[in-house]
Amino acid sequence: MKRFKLTLEYDGTGYVGWQVQPNGPSIQGTLAGALEALLGERVAVEAAGRTDSGVHALGQVACFSTARELPLKAYWMGLNAHLPPDIAVVAAEEVPLDFDPRRWSRGKRYRYRVSNRRSRSPLRRHTHWELFMPLDVEAMRAGAQHLLGRHDFSAFRAADCEAAHAVREVRALDVEGRAGDEITFTVNGTAFLKHMVRNLVGTLVEVGRGKRPPAWVGEVLAGRDRTRAGITAPAHGLSLLEVFYGEGPHPHGADADEA
């Protein structure tokens, strides 16, 4: 028996998310089907994080175990021949049999993109949140500083989030770009609560619109009340960029997350 780690890119537009669900195609189900076609057997497929419907990935990590003996390139080039155009394996490697893509993770990096043009863009409709009012990038950057570090992020978790606790560490939150063009929010953290990144962005956009001062972000964080924060930014602006790993399982385990 061998275990393999796959790095995936995908356009999440046409999927119900990573996890298999009864109401439509999923990334997990599509990948499992492609692996079955390649291997001639059904295998369990796990991921580093469960992305929501419409969320994209440039560096999702998935893994599976098999007794089949195939050259490593078969899990890259061969598997891509069985996948649709909106999902691709970009790297494959053999890992220890006890490798767990979620529990061994040391952190993740996400990017959220906003299109801030005065008119809509047909080319950005599936990849950006389109906001036509001017946004103050410097104010959002100042607001983001209040979110750095280890905190209780209860104010930014989804109502149906099942995580045992809301303490997370945001290592970096960079706001780049300029009003009237593309603005990107890049977040690096140990783990994320359900909808956490999208709720952070929705809150910072309130600051960017001039409706709230930057210091308000810190007040929302301290209040731990979801109703005081901004709206949940649309899923399609979000991409999972990278999953970070160290040697062996994370010493404190890892919390399940959904973006």
Catalytic residue numbers read: 52
Tokens of 170: 């945001």
Where b means 16+ CB within 10 Å and e means fewer, 207-239 reads bbbeebebebbeebbeebebeebbebbbbbbbb
Cβ–Cβ < 8 Å for 106, 254 = no
Identify the three-state secondary structure at position 97: coil
Identify the three-state secondary structure at position 146: helix
Strands (E), 134-255: 149-152, 167-177, 182-189, 238-245
> What residues pair up with 3 in beta bridges, in sequence order?
65, 95
**What is the rounded CA–CA span in Å between residue 24 and residue 16?**
6
Beta-carbon contacts of 139 under 8 Å, excluding residues fewer than 6 positions away, are 207, 208, 210, 213, 214
Q: By C-alpha distance, which of 133, 7, 2 is closest to 66? A: 2
H helical segments located in the chain: 27-39, 77-80, 137-144, 196-208, 215-223
What does the radius of gyration of the chain's CA atoms come to, in whole angstroms? 19
**What is the rounded CA–CA span in Å between residue 258 and residue 54?**
12
